[in-house]
Amino acid sequence: MRVLGIEGTAWAASAAYFDPPDGADGESGARRPSGAGDVLIESDPYLPESGGIHPREAAEHMSEAIPRVVERVLGQVDAGEIDAVAFSRGPGLGPCLRIVGTAARTLAQTLDVPLVGVNHMVAHLEVGRHRSGFSNPVCLNASGANAHVLGYHDGRYRVLGETMDTGVGNALDKFTRHLGWSHPGGPKVEEAARNGEYLDLPYVVKGMDFSFSGLMSAAKGAVDDGHDVADVCFSLQENVFAMLTEVAERALSLTGSDELVLGGGVGQNARLRGMLETMCEARGAEFYAPEPRFLRDNAGMIAILGSKMAVAGDTLSIEESSVDSDFRPDQVEVSWRGEGSVSRRPDDAAEVVGAEATVEIGSERVRKRRRPKAYRHPELDERLRRERAAREARLTSLARRTGVPTPVVYDVDRREGSLALERVGDADLLEELTPDRVRTVGVHLARLHEAGFVHGDPTPRNVRIAPGRTYVIDFGLGYHTDHAEDHAMDLHVFERSLAGTADDAEACREAFEAGYRESGDPAVLERLREIEGRGRYR
């Protein structure tokens, strides 16, 4: 299905033509070479004179540039060979999206071909999957307004983790605006970081979520306090990209996937790509980053996904084609893929490679070693391994005293970042994700919260099961807090992991909340509903 795609979610006015390889149906499922299919892309980016993106100026640019890029594409192809028109339906800036939607409707009617509405973030994922040939990868999207990790499960792309405040590119732009640098800020940070040295800055990972606001405030403060700008830029990159890489590895560990693709304009950063490649190599996973023209916002990815959707019959009438500035990737019903899941059941093994540690399993004890992560700066890595080992030992023992089943801690080596623990359970919860088991997890988390701390990374991989017993393990990301927001985030992390792994996620979610309600504070569940509805989690 040959498709003309139009992109215009924020700054990039772009049009493209995609001609699939001969005989391809748009979604064969077979591995294909990265160059398969011809993609012609014409773009005209909006570059503000100062500050960040101004919505009104961006819309004015879009209204002038979209006709130009469409005309340039049509000047190089036979319009009679276009089988469908695809456009970026969201997420993005409303005024820009409406201009693109109007242009796509007009063109589809003029050519008398079907109209396809594409989710911009899913397109970032799909272009990587298409060009890599991977069958079912985890995807890290790192763009200006978004930052999240996605995996395919139960007919949708599930958000396994995401930013708690702002997109990674926007976060870097806020920092560079503080310095008076022009937009976009990411490439300028990358250039300045080449000669920098490491400074200690905040590092915030909560399960598979992450936060940039505190880090950016600290970076601004460091510059204001007289630290060298190159050192701050270097440290900013080291922390931001290590956070993204850690979360991507947690997603690989949770799902059991051995494929990772990168999407989004920030993915053009060489240091981020290098970290992800190093992490995947250490895990024995495959990593793919598309060439830069497919990482930054572009209509090529819209045309490629539009082709898959059109083949599947996923088209829109003019009346159905309204845009959605808050169009989340997990709202998309994936029509162009069959059954399957990125989540795979773990294999029995004497040694398990988790997201941050290797666990050697003996008959009665396990030895958990937080081995150095080559992708992280050595100073940062040593600090995290030392702090997390100590925190895990302390909170694991504290949880036992609150009545939550956990392993006995026999020994902790803070310098090495290793622990000796009792072997508990026969399998991970991931192997028996039933409502009854999950209900018990809700009861356990309620007890932890009542005692004044959170687990920090509650997922089915961090719960062990045995007949009549459900154990909670791996408290390395836990911390003391009495805030309902933090308690609700614990629940939020667990429920998202259910959405990406459970066969009956809704029944499990209801059972989990029933268990929490039985022993916990109802206000936490109310805060959970607020978290789910906030714009910052979109």
Task: Look up residue 438 and give its two tokens.
Answer: 């999950």
Q: What string of DSSP letters covers 258-318?
A: -EEEEESGGGG-HHHHHHHHHHHHHHT-EEE---HHHHSS-HHHHHHHHHHHHHTT--B-G
pLDDT of residue 29: 42
- Best CA proximity match to 390, nearest among 466, 289, 475: 475
pTM for the whole structure: 0.92
Least Cα distance to 213 among 148, 248, 173, 164 occurs for 164
pLDDT of 34 > 70? The answer is no
Query: In the block, which residue shows the tokens 């319009």?
Result: 79
Task: Identify the CA nearest to 429 among candidates 461, 381, 386.
Answer: 461
What mean pLDDT comes out for the span 347-366? 84
pLDDT greater than 70 at residue 25:
no
What pLDDT, on the 0 to 100 scale, is given for residue 353?
83
Choice among 428, 457, 474, 490 that is catalytic: 457
| Bridge-based pairing state of the strands 3-7 and 84-90 | parallel
SS3 readout for 440-456: HHHHHHHHHHHCCEECC
Please provide the DSSP assignment of 61-93 as one string.
HHHHHHHHHHHHHHTTS-GGG--EEEEEEESS-
The DSSP annotation for 495-508 comes to: HHHHHHH-TTHHHH
324 annotated active-site: no
What integer pLDDT is reported at residue 349 of this predicted model?
A: 67
Share in percent of the chain as helix, strand, coil (round to 5): 45, 20, 35
Per-residue confidence band for 51, with pLDDT thresholds at 50, 70 and 90: low
Q: For residue 271, what are the CA distances in angstroms to 242, 289, 377?
A: 10, 13, 11
With bands split at pLDDT 50, 70 and 90, how would you rate the model's confidence at 128?
very high
Judge whether 223 and 179 are in contact, CB under 8 Å: yes
As a CATH number, domain 427-537 is 1.10.510.10
d(CA 7, CA 66): 9
Instruction: Decide if pLDDT at 35 tops 60.
Output: no
- Above 90 in pLDDT, residue 178? yes
Q: What is the reported pLDDT for 31? A: 42
Intervals of CATH 1.10.510.10 along the chain:
427-537
pLDDT over 90 percentage in the chain: 82
Instruction: Please state the rounded mean pLDDT for residues 295-320.
Output: 96
Which CATH number does 3-132+291-331 carry?
3.30.420.40
Between residues 247 and 353, which one has the greater pLDDT?
247
- Helix ranges, 467-535 (H): 484-501, 505-519, 522-533
CA distances from 94 to 58, 225, 319 (A): 11, 39, 18
pLDDT for 27: 55
| pLDDT(333) > 80 | yes
Architecture of domain 351-422 in CATH?
Answer: 2-Layer Sandwich (3.30)
- The CA–CA distances, whole Å, from 229 to 168, 185, 214, 266, 383 equal 19, 13, 18, 20, 23
DSSP per residue over 243-275, as a string? HHHHHHHHHHHHHT--EEEEESGGGG-HHHHHH
What value does the mean pLDDT of the chain take? 92
Residues 393-418 pLDDT 10s: 999 999 999 999 999 999 998 878 89
Residue 347 banded pLDDT, cuts 50, 70, 90: low
The answer on pLDDT for 36 being more than 80 is: no
- Note the pLDDT of residue 415: 79
Q: What is the pLDDT of residue 148?
A: 92
Residue 53 has pLDDT above 80, yes or no: no
**Fold of the 138-288 domain:** Nucleotidyltransferase; domain 5 (3.30.420)
Q: Alpha-carbon distance 409 to 418, whole Å?
A: 11
- CATH 3.30.420.40 in the chain is located at 3-132+291-331, 138-288
Transcribe 4-60 into DSSP letters. Answer: EEEE-SSSEEEEEEEEPPTT--S---S---TT-SEEEEEEEE---SSSS--HHHHHH
**Average pLDDT of span 117-137:** 94
